[in-house]
């Protein structure tokens, strides 16, 4: 049986660090290097921050759902929100794209996730909001 965790957190900024820490702790089962662990933490941080900042721009009661599973040597992560979604996902996947013009945002979140993980998929949910799926394969060093 694969190991799996399911987490639902309020979409508030202080929970970004909590989500990052939970997934990093979960990934330790795969015996990642410090660099691999840093990559995973950064990708999760970017995805959760996107949910909070972009998914719920005018709401304070949203949630971030995080599902992670270890299958063999691969860590699968899904991060979802029920926010506003992204009208043009291909544009949003391009470097420097941002919906926040009044704040300092680099528009590099998806680019960072894609560079640190082995795969990245971004899709709007039928019920509203966004689903980000990421995978990272780690060779066990047992």
Catalytic residues: 46, 50, 105
Measuring CA to CA, how many Å separate 14 from each of 11, 99, 109, 125, 132? 9, 22, 18, 25, 20
87/72 Cα distance (integer angstroms)? 35
**CB-based contacts of 88: which residues, under 8 Å, 6+ apart?**
none
12/74 Cα distance (integer angstroms)? 29
DSSP-derived pairing of the beta strands 63-71 and 3-10: antiparallel
């Amino acid at each position: 049986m694969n190991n799996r965790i399911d987490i639902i957190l309020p979409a508030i900024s202080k929970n970004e660090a909590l989500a990052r820490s939970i997934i990093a702790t979960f990934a330790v089962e795969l015996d990642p290097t410090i660099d691999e662990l840093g990559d995973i933490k950064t990708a999760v941080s970017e995805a959760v921050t996107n949910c909070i900042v972009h998914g719920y721009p005018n709401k304070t009661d949203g949630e971030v759902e995080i599902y992670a599973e270890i299958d063999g040597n691969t860590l699968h992560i899904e991060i979802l929100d029920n926010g506003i979604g992204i009208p043009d996902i291909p544009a949003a996947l391009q470097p420097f794209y941002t919906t926040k013009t009044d704040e300092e945002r680099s528009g590099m979140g998806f680019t960072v996730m894609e560079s640190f993980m082995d795969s990245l998929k971004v899709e709007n949910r039928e019920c509203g909001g966004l689903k980000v799926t990421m995978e990272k394969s780690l060779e066990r060093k047992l």
